[in-house]
Amino acid sequence: MKKYDVAIVGASGMVGRELLDLIKIRRFPVNKIYFFNSGKNKISFIEFKNKKYECFSPQLNLLEKAKIVFFVSTEEISRKYAPILASKKIWCIDDSSEFRLDPSVPLIIPEINSELIKKSYLIAGPNCTLTPLAVSCFNIHKKFQIEEIRVATYQAVSGAGRKAIESLFEELEYYLKNKKMKSKNKFLPNPIAFNIFPQVGSFDKNGISSEEKKVELELKKIWNSPDIKISVTAVRVPTIRVHCLSAWIKTKKDWELKDIEKTFINSKGVKYLKNPKYATPLNSAKTFEVFVSRLRKTPIKNEFQVWLSGDNLYKGAALNSIQIAEKIIEENYG
């Protein structure tokens, strides 16, 4: 089997580490592997398959050695290097938000629109919060034409990166030692231990958070459906990984609840749990599917409600990127 030279930019971060695990778990055919991070902190070596690799700060001449580059660091780094590498026919799979809404860059979830991969060497992966919704309800949309979505999210702390997770653990330790809460968190807008808050990202002049805007605009792009009405409340909760969503979905076409259930059961990448079973962050962590549970009708015509969940570090980021890379090599693109 052909093997590929691969680079991971952001290898020491939350998503970077998951990428490494998934490369092993899914036996992605790696020849040489190169690791990059900020070069600013103490993690300067990465262990992979019992070997220690030095981690470099990004440099074009080193990045150019790879055939596939996973960008899992910052928007700035993606902006600086991905377009140059892509112009040299190096596949760049970017998990940052830098190019997601750029009309020339495909925004890919392989279960939905893998046919767009061949259009560009630079490919964006979506925001981790919309992934469970996008994957699970795509076939519902195709069959019954979704016209309106209202959703409240319950987002794990790892969605905000390694430093945010470390800060959750510090807060918990501080509480256990001092029997009082810390008053501030350096990486999140509020303390997060024993807390929840309806702010993920910053607010615009209309009071909408950047995360809420991403869910709306990226979902419209991925489904190629600019007219769907989407309203979101994004909430941070003190879980470690897996984002959950409570969603109200209204369609144009009529259906029986069993048709909706059947569509979920037959959708790729979806695990449907029949009542009274449901997904939680603990029972859906590190799984490759997104989960749909608590399906029920609402009093509004053509509207149902579901509880969705998906691992933000897997399908919301690293797994989706690996699946894109797998598609590239499977189809022998470029």
Ligand X SMILES: NC(=O)c1ccc[n+]([C@@H]2O[C@H](COP(=O)([O-])OP(=O)(O)OC[C@H]3O[C@@H](n4cnc5c(N)ncnc54)[C@H](OP(=O)(O)O)[C@@H]3O)[C@@H](O)[C@H]2O)c1
Q: For ligand X, which is the closer residue by CB, 79 or 297?
A: 79
- Spatial distance between the Cα atoms of 138 and 141, rounded to a whole number of angstroms: 5
Longest dimension (CA), the chain: 60
202: left (phi over 0), alpha (psi -120 to 50) or beta: beta
145: alpha, beta or left, given left = phi > 0 and alpha = psi -120 to 50? left
Output 69 or 313, the one with its CB closest to ligand X.
Answer: 313
Coil/strand/helix, residue 232: strand
Is the peptide bond prior to 299 cis by the omega test (within 30 degrees of 0)? no
DSSP 3-state assignment of 99? coil
- Pick from 222, 104, 224, 239: nearest CA to 158: 239
Binding mask 29-68 for ligand X (x = CB under 6 A): -------xxx-xx-x-------------xx----------
Query: Of 262, 272, 266, 269, which is closest to residue 320 (Cα–Cα)?
Result: 269
Number of residues that bind ligand X (CB under 6 A): 33
Q: Whole-angstrom Cα distance, residue 50 to residue 167?
A: 30
CB atoms within 10 A of CB 60: 11
Residue range at the interface with ligand X (CB under 6 A); choices 12-20, 193-201, 218-226, 326-334: 12-20
Q: Which is nearer to ligand X, 139 or 284 (CB)?
A: 284
- By Cβ distance, which residue is nearest to ligand X? 13
Secondary structure (3-state) at 222: helix
The structure tokens listed for 3 are: 């093997």
Q: Which of 232, 239, 148 is nearest to 196 (CA)?
A: 239
Nearer to ligand X, 171 or 211 (CB): 211
Near ligand X by CB under 6 A: residue from 14, 82, 146, 319: 14
Tell which one of 63, 128, 192, 247 touches ligand X (CB under 6 A).
Answer: 128
- Interaction of residue 162 with ligand X, rule CB under 6 A: yes
Rounded (10°) angle between helices 257-265 and 131-144: 130
Q: Does 310 bind ligand X (CB under 6 A)?
A: no
Pick 38 or 195: Cβ nearer ligand X: 38
Alpha-carbon distance of 154 to 29, in angstroms, equals: 35
> Quick one: 162 or 220, whose CB is closer to ligand X?
162
* Pair 240, 314: CB distance under 8 Å: no
CB of 15 to ligand X, least distance (A): 4
By beta-carbon proximity to ligand X, the closer residue of 221 and 250 is 221
The residue within the footprint of ligand X, chosen from 316, 323, 325, 328 (CB under 6 A), is 316
Binding span for ligand X by CB under 6 A among 8-16, 59-67, 108-116, 224-232: 8-16
Q: Does 202 bind ligand X (CB under 6 A)?
A: no
For residues 69 and 254, give the distance between their C-alpha atoms in angstroms, rounded to a whole number: 45
CB of 57 to ligand X, least distance (A): 6
Which of 6, 10, 304, 323 binds ligand X (CB under 6 A)? It is 10
CB of 180 to ligand X, least distance (A): 28
Site string for ligand X, 208-227 (x = CB under 6 A): --------------------
**DSSP assignment, residue 155?**
B
72-111 residues in contact with ligand X (CB under 6 A) are 72-74, 77, 95-97
By CB under 6 A, residue 132 contacts ligand X = no
Residue 313 within binding range of ligand X, rule CB under 6 A: yes
Under the rule (CB under 6 A), what is the footprint of ligand X?
Answer: 9-16, 36-38, 40-41, 43, 57-58, 72-74, 77, 95-97, 128, 158-159, 161-163, 312-313, 316-317
